[in-house]
């Protein structure tokens, strides 16, 4: 059989794998599909009626969409925390799970693209920044660099995952020249993708809340805290609802990572708070607005203090011996994921616009339509991960292979 027919057969069979499962699987996929369609309907409404359906204004032009984008870029970059020990330090227990970390990276990057599309308002005009037919503005535009690194990282991970699964499906050994160079490139690219995203904000000199050298390290620390925590939770669901075995050794290894990165993230946040509040200049106003409110405007205060509490509580749990028990580790991971989602999203993006460059205090609160779009994108992300995991698990277990046509 010619290679393209073989590959086409693989794609067709992989497609049909997702239509086989128990009632619980069908209910889960139907639930996510419904939520995704609700989000799509909300996005169409936004496309028809414009950005007036959102809570964004001229003074606050980034909101919940970009907040989720900055968070998910970090989740995508965190896959490197499995790649480095697996490929550089030959941690054999991680080889069988590193693929699911990369699938999570692909899913997170797809969601990043969707959040950017939602934030554009008129995504049909995005062609203006494409090379040849538009103007890409490299190397002067940080936005162009961000487009390059996000899509490049998506393609690299898609190649690694796709090639690995296809070779295992065929029962053939991996060609190291088709896999290892891309793995090593993706390790550096993971750092670059989050650093460039941070530089998007750092380079805006008129926004003192972002214009700080510590922002890029904060981005990386939060990514390497929330990312492994998210991966631990994902692995819990995989081993709970599938027959794929993920050992506790993997969980404990990831626990060691977040034991280091969660305190570093908190330390960098506290350093930023000290720098802003102790200097007590007019550049401190965004931080004052975030933590305590400013002149009666306090929309973000109910967001940030629970996030701080979650992060500190997670750190305390992780330092205690009881975090070796999966139940308490899961609690710490959930607190970390939610805490950093708020701190790095609404707690980072919105305060940069308040007060405005003219000194106006215009607050931002996401509308119901925005929340539905966000819900739809997250549902699509879970749907995409479920689809890819549904194909990957039987291939990795050896129950879905080229000579077998009776896949469960």
**CA distance linking residue 153 with residue 151, whole number of Å:** 5
**CA distance linking residue 130 with residue 136, whole number of Å:** 5
**What confidence category does residue 51 fall into, taking pLDDT thresholds of 50, 70 and 90?**
very high
Question: CA-based angle 342:347:351, to the nearest 5?
Answer: 160
**What confidence category does residue 1 fall into, taking pLDDT thresholds of 50, 70 and 90?**
low
**Contact by Cβ (8 Å): 118, 43:** yes
Lowest-confidence region among 22-31, 80-89, 324-333, 383-392: 80-89
Q: What does the pLDDT read at residue 408?
A: 42
Q: What is the pTM of this model?
A: 0.93
**What confidence category does residue 404 fall into, taking pLDDT thresholds of 50, 70 and 90?**
low
Q: What does the pLDDT read at residue 406?
A: 47
Which one has a higher pLDDT value, 267 or 135? 267
Q: What does the pLDDT read at residue 33?
A: 97
Q: Name the residue with tokens 């790095």.
A: 344
Maximum C-alpha span of the chain: 73
Q: What does the pLDDT read at residue 302?
A: 94
- 301: helix, strand or coil: helix
**CA distance linking residue 277 with residue 285, whole number of Å:** 9
Q: Is 174 left (phi over 0), alpha (psi -120 to 50) or beta?
A: beta
**Structural domains of the chain, with CATH:** 27-397 (1.20.1630.10)
pLDDT at 89 over 50: yes
Average pLDDT for residues 370-385, to the nearest whole number? 97
**What confidence category does residue 92 fall into, taking pLDDT thresholds of 50, 70 and 90?**
confident
Lowest-confidence region among 54-68, 80-94, 191-205, 329-343: 80-94
- 398: helix, strand or coil: coil
pLDDT at 278 over 50: yes
**CA distance linking residue 393 with residue 389, whole number of Å:** 6
**What confidence category does residue 79 fall into, taking pLDDT thresholds of 50, 70 and 90?**
confident
Q: What does the pLDDT read at residue 172?
A: 87
DSSP bridge pairs for 294: 297
Q: What does the pLDDT read at residue 407?
A: 46
Average pLDDT for residues 146-171, to the nearest whole number? 92
Structure-token pair, residue 80:
């490197």
Average pLDDT for residues 187-201, to the nearest whole number? 91
**What confidence category does residue 129 fall into, taking pLDDT thresholds of 50, 70 and 90?**
confident
Average pLDDT for residues 307-323, to the nearest whole number? 95
Q: What does the pLDDT read at residue 175?
A: 87
Structure-token pair, residue 349:
């993006």
- How high does pLDDT run on average in the chain? 90
pLDDT at 367 over 60: yes
pLDDT at 46 over 90: yes
Average pLDDT for residues 101-116, to the nearest whole number? 95
């Amino acid at each position: 059989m010619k290679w393209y027919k073989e590959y086409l057969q693989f794609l067709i069979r992989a497609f049909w794998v997702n239509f086989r499962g128990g009632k619980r699987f069908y209910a889960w996929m139907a639930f996510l599909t419904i939520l995704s369609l609700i989000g799509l309907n909300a996005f169409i409404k936004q496309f028809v009626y414009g950005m007036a359906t959102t809570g964004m204004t001229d003074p606050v032009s980034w909101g919940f969409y970009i907040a989720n984008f900055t968070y998910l870029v970090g989740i995508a970059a965190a896959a490197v925390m499995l790649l480095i020990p697996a490929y550089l330090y030959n941690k054999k227990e991680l080889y069988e799970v590193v693929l699911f970390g990369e699938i999570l990276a692909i899913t997170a990057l797809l969601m990043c693209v969707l959040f950017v599309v939602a934030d554009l308002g008129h995504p049909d005009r995005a062609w203006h920044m494409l090379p040849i037919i538009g103007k890409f503005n490299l190397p002067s535009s940080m936005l162009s660099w961000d487009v390059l690194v996000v899509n490049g990282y998506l393609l690299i991970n898609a190649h690694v995952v796709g090639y690995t699964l296809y070779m295992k499906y065929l029962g053939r050994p991996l060609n190291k020249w088709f896999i290892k160079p891309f793995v090593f490139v993706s390790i550096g690219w993971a750092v670059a993708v989050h650093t460039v995203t941070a530089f998007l904000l750092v380079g805006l000199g008129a926004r003192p809340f972002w214009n700080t050298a510590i922002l890029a390290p904060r981005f990386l620390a939060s990514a390497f805290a929330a990312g492994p925590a998210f991966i631990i939770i994902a692995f819990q669901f995989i081993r709970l609802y599938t027959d794929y075995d993920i050992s506790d050794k993997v969980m404990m290894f990831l626990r060691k990572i977040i034991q280091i990165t969660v305190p570093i993230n908190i330390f960098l946040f506290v350093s930023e708070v000290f720098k802003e509040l102790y200097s007590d200049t007019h550049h401190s106003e965004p931080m004052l607005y975030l933590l305590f409110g400013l002149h009666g405007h306090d929309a973000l205060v109910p967001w940030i203090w629970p996030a701080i509490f979650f992060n500190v509580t997670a750190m305390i749990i992780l330092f205690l011996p009881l975090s070796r028990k999966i139940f308490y580790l899961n609690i710490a991971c959930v607190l970390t994921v939610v805490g950093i989602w708020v701190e790095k999203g609404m707690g980072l993006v919105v305060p940069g616009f308040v007060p405005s460059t003219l000194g106006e205090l215009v607050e931002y609160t996401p509308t119901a339509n925005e929340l539905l779009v966000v819900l739809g994108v997250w549902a699509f992300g879970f749907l995409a991960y479920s689809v890819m995991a549904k194909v990957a698990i039987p291939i990795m277990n050896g129950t879905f292979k080229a000579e077998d046509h009776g896949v469960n």
